[in-house]
Amino acid sequence: MVNEFLLKEFGNRIRTLRIQANLSQEKLSFKTGFHRTYIGMIERGERNISLTNIAVFAKVFGMNISELLNFQEQNPTLNFNLYELKTER
């Protein structure tokens, strides 16, 4: 899948923040209003979520969207050259 890398990085970020907040997927589902299985799919990089849903996660974790999308905080060696544009296929 094209850009699977980006979905997995976002999922890892959500999982890390959830664990740091001492939340289960079920507790996070109550806070976000999303189904627990949806959160699991996000954490595994199986869902490409909307910007509005990203904003919900940012609010729940008490940060702005740009902070939430700062994947290099948890993975300083992250290389965005792995992100492939659809036009580069």
Whole-structure pTM value: 0.85
Q: List pLDDT tens digits, range 25-74.
A: 999 999 999 999 999 999 999 999 999 999 999 999 999 999 999 887 77
Topology (CATH) of 4-72: 434 Repressor (Amino-terminal Domain) (1.10.260)
- What are the angstrom distances between the C-alpha of 23 and each of 61, 72, 79, 84? 11, 22, 29, 32
Our CA angle for 71, 46, 54, nearest 5°, is: 50
In the chain, domain spans: 4-72
Give me 48's structure tokens. 């490409």
